[in-house]
Structures are given as C-alpha cells and as structure tokens.
C-alpha cells in the first residue's frame, strides 16, 4: 500500500523571498513523510480573491493538508474562515490554516514564534521597557500581541497612520486601554522626536522594507540616531543581514534578522497540522542552507 502524500503550501504575494518550502520539505523528509510544500502567489484584494477561494476550497476538500499565510493576507483571510483560534483572535492576525471537524480554522504561530526567537537572540533583554514597532500590517499585530503579554509599552510607527490607529484600537478592545500603545508616523522627524523623549529598549521592523530583491533599503532613516542600547530585530530574513541590521550593528547595537522566528513559527504550524513534534534542528539546517545559497547568488551579482 502506498504511503499517503501530504500537500502543504504558502499563500501570499510576492513569494520570491520565501524559504518556507525548503523548511517544511525538510521536516517531512526528516519524519519519513511523503509530501510537498508549494508557493501559491495570491495577489491582494480584489484581484486575488478568486485564487484565494480556490485554495481554501482545496483545503476544505482535503486536497491540501495545511496552508501558511503571509503578506498581504494575514488579516484579510480571516473573513473567509469558519473561525480562528483564541490566540489568533487576540493577535488579530492569522498565518496558519487547517481543517478541523470540517471547519476551516485560522491560527497564529507568528506571535509565539517571535517571542521565542527574540529571547534566544537577546537573552539579556529585559521585559517591561519600550518597544518601537515599525509598520502596522499583520506581522505588527503578532509582534504587538507578543510584547503586550510581556508587559512592554508599545509605540507603533507606520506610514499610514490609520493602520497604526486600527492596531491600537484592536488591542484596546482585547485587554483594555491600559496597554500603553502609542502611534505615530514612520518618518525621520517623528522617529527622531520619539527617540529623544521615550526610552526605547527594542526596535522591531514589521515592514517588508529591505526584503529581497530590494536589499539595499532600510526602514530606518539614516539621519535619525538609534536609541542608546536598544536591540534591533528585523522580521525580514532574506537577505541574511538586512540593511537595517547592518545599520544597527555599525552603531554598536545588538541586532538580528527573522530567520529564527521563521523556523519557529514553521515548526509550530507543522505541529498544528500533524500533531507530532516538529524536527526543529532539520528545519533550522534547511533554512541555513537555503539562506547560504541565496547569499552566494547575491555575491555573484555584485
């Protein structure tokens, strides 16, 4: 009798930067499970809606075992699901989809994946300080949820201030206005003023700025000094060292890219789909190999 093959995939746009296929295929192989993980480019609303519905139908019909969700669908996809987990509801964003008792369910593994890797990268980081989140998309919701649980105060800086205000309102509804979430514009003047008047212990980039192929870009204006002693975490993981991380290190700060978060959130999603411990070491190694190959190609183009 032939072994059952499991079909997995990632919804988002664009997806050229993604290492998810390498990570999940390594997990399947390590556990001796037949299957594949495919990238499904789905453009933003409204153009991408027909393709999204098609993929969700495949999941309902069990032609797919599970799906991950990335930019720009982490928030909009919720409208197409039967329900979301308590964690996803609290975080206000979804990155993992699965079928349970015939119901299409959305979960969030970004939030726990982020906080696990954050403390792995910065073990001496003290909770309870000020966190500056750059961007207000789906990833920012997951990060905000994680740091709210740790007792940090939050400042969200976004190019579209209405997005930052929507994030603030979401968390005020979840746990009340005592979250100490402030909002502002993601520009040099606003950031400079903020860093002069607020104690910022951690900066987290939740924008796609600096992601391959636009690896020379940074969300942090060069004319704005970094807060003294702040740690910098860039959710972007491709390239290995983003422009933001390079800026921070050149200014003497501890900084990390989001590769560890990518692996951890993938491991948590894998465990949700299959109810078995994910082979994290094999997944981490697959990420490192894929990232190394990309870095080599980038060097060849220089």
Residue pLDDT, tens place only, 95-139: 999 999 999 999 999 999 999 999 999 999 987 679 999 999 999
pLDDT higher than threshold 70 for residue 176: no
Active site residues: 74
Residue pLDDT, tens place only, 199-256: 999 999 999 999 988 999 999 999 999 999 999 999 999 999 999 999 999 999 999 9
Six token digits for residue 200: 């910022």
> Residues 184, 190, 191, 192: what is their CA dihedral angle, to the nearest 10 degrees?
-150
Phi-psi region of 262 (alpha: psi -120 to 50; beta: other; left: phi over 0): alpha
Which letter does DSSP use for residue 153 in this model? E
Six token digits for residue 243: 């422009």
Determine the average pLDDT of the residues in 190-201: 93
Alpha-carbon gap, residue 298 to 256, rounded angstroms: 19
Question: 3-class SS at 38?
Answer: strand
The number of angstroms, rounded, from the C-alpha of 149 to the middle of its chain's C-alpha atoms is 17
Alpha-carbon gap, residue 253 to 152, rounded angstroms: 20
Specify the pTM: 0.93
Are the beta carbons of 58 and 64 closer than 8 angstroms?
yes
CB atoms within 10 A of CB 298: 15
Q: What pLDDT is attached to residue 180?
A: 80
Domains belonging to the chain, first-starting first, are: 5-109+262-281 (3.40.50.10860), 111-259 (3.40.50.720)
């Amino acid at each position: 009798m032939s072994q059952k093959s499991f079909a997995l995939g990632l919804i988002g746009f664009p997806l050229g930067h993604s290492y998810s296929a390498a990570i999940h295929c390594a997990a399947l192989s390590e556990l001796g499970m037949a299957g594949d993980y495919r990238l499904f480019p789905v453009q933003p609303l409204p153009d991408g809606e027909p393709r999204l519905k098609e993929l969700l139908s495949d999941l309902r019909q069990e032609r797919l075992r599970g799906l991950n969700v990335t930019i720009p669908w982490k928030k909009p996809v919720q409208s197409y699901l039967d329900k979301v987990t308590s964690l996803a509801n609290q975080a206000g964003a979804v990155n993992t989809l699965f079928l349970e008792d015939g119901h299409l369910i959305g979960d969030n593994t970004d939030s726990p994946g982020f906080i696990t890797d954050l403390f792995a990268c910065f073990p001496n980081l003290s909770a309870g300080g000020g966190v500056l989140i750059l961007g207000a998309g789906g990833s920012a919701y997951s990060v905000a949820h994680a740091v709210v649980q740790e007792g940090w105060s939050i400042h969200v800086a976004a190019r579209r201030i209405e997005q930052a205000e929507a994030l603030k309102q979401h968390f005020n509804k979840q746990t009340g206005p005592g979250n100490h979430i402030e909002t502002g514009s993601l520009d040099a003047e606003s950031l400079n003023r903020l860093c002069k008047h607020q104690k910022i212990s951690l900066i987290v980039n939740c924008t796609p700025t600096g992601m391959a192929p636009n690896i020379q870009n940074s969300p942090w204006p060069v004319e704005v000094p970094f807060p003294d002693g702040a740690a910098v975490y860039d959710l972007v993981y491709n390239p290995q060292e983003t422009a933001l991380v390079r800026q921070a290190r050149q200014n003497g700060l501890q900084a990390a890219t989001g590769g560890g978060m990518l692996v951890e959130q993938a491991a948590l999603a894998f465990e949700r789909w299959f109810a078995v411990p994910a082979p994290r070491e094999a997944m981490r190694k697959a990420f490192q190999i894929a990232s190394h190959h990309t870095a080599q190609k980038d060097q060849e183009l220089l």
